[in-house]
């Protein structure tokens, strides 16, 4: 049984596009095995804005950074532009961490976000939904979206053009997954 669990962990880690075995110059990627598994680049750095004390203001700043990220319009896959967003966030907040999976809860120093644009349940928009939590228990969420080509047709575009706040329901996990479920075009 332990072998199966270990094998599953290796497979999951291998499928995570953000996971890296090779360190970039001046940066390191670590995956922790705590209950809120996270990945962090430039570990050991800290930012005066972390931990987050105002989730709404921090979400708005992350949306602004996402809007201005250095996207690759010619990218063969949209997940490369997810990395552009995450890198823009990381450059502004070097101590910021990301959950390993989008259904994990955000924390005051950890954004709950996936590693790919996923098709919305409400229509065919492609979403990178995220959630942030603050030290007072507040939660705020946002989305970078690639609008659908038509009502039932996914766009071939790889760059998000819609950046908006998501209304989060009370009593739910503060996560990118819940944010995506509450997306309204």
Residue 29 pLDDT grade (very low, low, confident, very high; cuts 50, 70, 90): very low
Instruction: Check residue 6 and give its pLDDT.
Output: 35
The strand pair at 110-113 and 118-119 is best described as unpaired
Q: Is the pLDDT of residue 136 over 60?
A: yes
User: Which residue from 134, 113, 128, 180 is spatially nearest to 158, judged by alpha carbons?
Assistant: 128
User: CA-CA distance, 32 to 104, in Å (whole number)?
Assistant: 13
Report the predicted TM-score, pTM, of the whole model to 2 decimal places: 0.74
DSSP string for residues in 124-158: S-EEEEEEEE-TTS-EEEEEEEE--SBTTB-----
What's the pLDDT tens digit per position in 155-168?
888 999 999 999 99
């Amino acid at each position: 049984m332990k072998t199966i669990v270990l094998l599953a962990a290796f497979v999951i880690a291998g499928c995570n596009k953000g996971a890296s075995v090779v360190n970039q110059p001046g940066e390191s990627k670590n995956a922790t095995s705590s209950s809120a598994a996270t990945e962090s680049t430039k570990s050991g750095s800290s930012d005066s804005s972390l931990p987050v004390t105002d989730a709404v203001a921090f979400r708005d700043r992350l949306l602004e950074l996402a809007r201005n990220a250095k996207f690759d319009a010619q990218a063969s896959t949209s997940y490369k532009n997810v990395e552009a967003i995450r890198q823009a966030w990381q450059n502004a907040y070097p101590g910021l961490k990301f959950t390993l999976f989008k259904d994990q809860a955000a924390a005051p120093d950890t954004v709950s976000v996936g590693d790919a644009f996923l098709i919305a349940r409400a229509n065919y928009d492609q979403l990178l939904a995220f959630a942030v939590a603050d030290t007072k228990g507040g939660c705020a969420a946002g989305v970078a979206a690639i609008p659908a080509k038509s009502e039932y047709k996914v766009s071939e575009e790889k760059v998000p053009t819609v950046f908006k706040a998501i209304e989060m329901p009370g009593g739910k996990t503060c996560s990118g997954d819940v944010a995506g479920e509450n997306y309204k075009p």
